[in-house]
């Protein structure tokens, strides 16, 4: 009886020890992004290689939900470790105390484009809003800049614009109205909305990338404001679409770690991997979105590289995320009121 009890004790201790060892080694990172082909590419370029290299499992979740992120932090029950967010939200969330400061002993900050890194966020990728158009719907006339959106006589048809109150639409309206790019901020809201009023009846609003592609490829909208990667994907599929890069508006997504994340150390390692030269280049080659790592450009596919914002810097305008982080709530109120008028 004593022998059996002793064996049982040793066995129990061995099982407990194994369980502890397994738990300790089974690190995870819960990664949240926007879904679709973008998150598929993030999994292929970042998550899968990261797991192979570190044995840390990356659990995919989504879509990104700002209200949910805030609720998790405020409740102290944070289920997410790394979240892909828009750049202006990253700044606003940091100011509200919703994010962990990043560990730049792990993440190589000095090789990240300064536009796309701060104490609480590192770029996921950056992209441009470009003037996209359906070649058949515009009758062979190539629009050059944002002013074409407002010229319905020369370019008839519906205009596809991003429906959310975030950087992009107001800026393009002001540029089309003759505002110089270095005079955009602070935004003249009266002037921007007055310009948008001139085509309001012709606007078809899109809220996601797939919807924007459908509007343009079908010809339901003859032209509009699009993420450059979505235009490239349509071209790869043989759709009769093209883009003008003049006045392309640069926007970025950022990777952040919510305050109180349970796997913060593993999250920092994941951020280091995803923002590395290889990680960024691999993602760019899959998506036609631009890399935030300065050493990634040399790793890009030579043909694809010509369709990235990095090849169109001369005509580029970087949107002011800090301005939007500070004024976004006020602008959103006016935006929503304008939409229902």
Task: Compute the CA torsion angle 153, 154, 155, 161 (nearest 10 deg).
Answer: -70
Q: CA dist 324 to 112, 124, 181, 329, Å? A: 22, 19, 16, 8
pLDDT digits (tens, 9 = 90+) for 120-166: 999 999 999 999 999 999 987 899 999 999 999 999 999 999 999 99
SS3 279: helix
Quick one: 132 and 237 in the same domain?
A: yes
Which is nearest to 207 in space by CA: 34, 39, 32? Answer: 34
- Mean pLDDT (the chain) is 91
Task: Specify if 306 maps to a domain.
Answer: yes
- Report d(CA 301, CA 213) in Å as an integer: 23
For residues 139 and 240, the answer to whether their CB atoms sit within 8 Å is no
Quick one: 216 and 273 in the same domain?
A: no
CA angle 270, 274, 280 (to 5 degrees): 175
Strands (E), 228-321: 241-256, 316-318
For residues 216 and 228, the answer to whether their CB atoms sit within 8 Å is no
Task: Specify if 1 maps to a domain.
Answer: no
Q: Which domain holds residue 213?
A: 126-250+325-338
pLDDT digits (tens, 9 = 90+) for 317-328: 999 999 999 999
Strands (E), 143-285: 158-162, 203-206, 221-227, 241-256
Euclidean distance between the first and final Cα of the chain, in Å?
85
Quick one: 245 and 141 in the same domain?
A: yes
Q: In the numeric block, which tokens belong to residue 5?
A: 């009890």
Number of domains observed in the structure of the chain = 2
- Report d(CA 332, CA 27) in Å as an integer: 40
Quick one: 205 and 334 in the same domain?
A: yes
Quick one: 217 and 246 in the same domain?
A: yes
**What are the beta bridge partners of residue 274?**
none
pLDDT for 24: 42
pLDDT digits (tens, 9 = 90+) for 35-67: 878 899 999 999 999 999 999 999 999 999 999
Quick one: 147 and 165 in the same domain?
A: yes
Give the model's confidence band at 13: pLDDT under 50 very low, under 70 low, under 90 confident, else very high: very low
Phi, psi of 244 (to 5 degrees): -105, 130
pLDDT for 36: 79
pTM metric for this prediction: 0.83
Domain CATH code at residue 96: 3.40.190.10
pLDDT digits (tens, 9 = 90+) for 105-125: 999 999 999 999 999 999 999
pLDDT for 253: 96
């Amino acid at each position: 009886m004593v022998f059996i009890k002793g064996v049982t004790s040793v066995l129990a201790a061995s099982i407990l020890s194994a369980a502890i060892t397994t738990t300790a080694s089974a690190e995870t990172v819960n990664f949240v992004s926007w879904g679709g082909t973008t998150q598929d590419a993030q999994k292929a370029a970042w998550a899968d290689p990261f797991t192979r290299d570190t044995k840390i499992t990356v659990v995919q979740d989504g879509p990104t939900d700002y209200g949910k992120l805030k609720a998790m932090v405020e409740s102290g029950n944070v289920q997410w470790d790394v979240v892909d967010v828009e750049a202006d939200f990253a700044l606003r969330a940091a100011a509200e105390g919703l994010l962990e400061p990043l560990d730049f002993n792990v993440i190589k900050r000095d090789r990240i484009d300064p536009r796309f890194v701060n104490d609480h966020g590192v770029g996921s990728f950056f992209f441009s809003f470009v003037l996209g158009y359906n070649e058949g719907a515009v009758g062979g006339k190539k629009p050059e800049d944002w002013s074409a959106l407002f010229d319905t006589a020369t370019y008839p048809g519906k205009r596809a614009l991003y429906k959310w109150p975030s950087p992009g639409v107001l800026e393009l309206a002001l540029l089309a109205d003759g505002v110089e790019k270095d005079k955009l901020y602070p935004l003249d809201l009266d002037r921007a909305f007055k310009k948008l009023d001139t085509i309001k009846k012709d606007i078809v609003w899109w809220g996601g990338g797939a919807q924007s592609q459908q509007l343009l490829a079908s010809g339901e909208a003859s032209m509009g404001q699009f993420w450059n990667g979505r235009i490239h994907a349509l071209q790869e599929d043989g759709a009769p679409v093209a883009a003008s890069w003049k006045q392309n508006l640069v926007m970025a997504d950022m990777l952040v770690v919510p305050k109180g994340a349970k796997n913060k150390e593993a999250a920092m390692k994941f951020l280091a991997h995803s923002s590395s030269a290889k990680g960024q280049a691999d993602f760019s080659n899959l998506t036609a979105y631009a890399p935030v790592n300065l050493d990634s450009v040399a790793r890009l596919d030579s043909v694809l590289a010509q369709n990235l914002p990095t090849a169109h810097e001369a005509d580029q305008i970087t949107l002011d995320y800090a301005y939007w982080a500070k004024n976004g709530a006020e602008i959103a109120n006016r935006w929503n009121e304008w939409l229902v008028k």
